[in-house]
Amino acid sequence: LNPELAARAAREDDDGERYYPLGPQAAQLIGWNAEGRFAAQQGSVERTWDGLLRGYKPSELPFFFRNRHNPLVTPPRPQDLQLTISAELQRFATERLDRAVREWNGSGGALVVFDATSGEVLAAVTAPHFDPNTLSLERMRRLQEENPRSQVLVNKALASS
């Protein structure tokens, strides 16, 4: 991310809602949180790396809760995750995939850009897409109903079948 997007991503609203700086261009790749509920689907960064990002696995939560005042128990430590995604390439790939889906009258698709020498993923786009910043549980249900063939909430670019 460029410094401006990184600064916007670091901001947190007063009510603690997450902000997704690439919006619809990376919704399925990054994941999302709808109305405070973790709702990311298969193949998203948030789902795959949830334990690392939170600092604990959901199954460990009762242990940490019971021992929250125990000085001998190290509290969970969330970690950062560095992605190789290029915001500019992600935007370009989104535009190209959208154009191809329209031109071929498709219901959706996926596009992945790899660095052939390192194997790093530079862009991973899924269509159709949506803006996770405005996603509610009701809108998420509607997207699924309106796009039954395309599995709009799944990261088709990187999800394993």
Per-residue pLDDT for the chain (161 aa), expressed as one digit of tens each?
Answer: 455 555 555 554 444 466 778 888 988 888 776 655 556 566 678 778 878 888 888 889 899 999 999 999 999 988 888 889 999 999 999 999 999 999 999 888 899 999 999 999 999 998 888 888 887 778 888 888 887 776 777 777 776 54
**Model pTM greater than 0.95?**
no
**CA–CA separation, 142 and 56 (whole Å):** 32
Q: Which long-range contacts (CB under 8 A, 24 or more apart) does 45-52 make?
A: 45/81, 45/83, 49/81, 52/78, 52/79, 52/81
Contact criterion met (CB below 8 Å) for 44 and 50: no
Contact criterion met (CB below 8 Å) for 20 and 130: no
Angle at 129 between CA 106 and CA 155, to 5 degrees: 90
Contact criterion met (CB below 8 Å) for 41 and 155: yes
3-state secondary structure 115-151: CCCCCCEEEEEEECCCCHHHCCHHHHHHHHHHCCCCC
Give residue 19's Cα distance to chain centre.
Answer: 11
Least Cα distance to 90 among 129, 64, 61 occurs for 129
* Cβ contacts of 140 within 8 Å, gap of 6 or more: 34, 39, 153
Per-residue pLDDT at 14: 42
Query: How far is the CA of 145 from the CAs of 28, 94, 110, 111, 151, in angstroms?
Result: 17, 23, 20, 23, 9
Task: Supply φ then ψ for residue 109, to 5 degrees.
Answer: 180, -175
Per-residue pLDDT at 37: 59
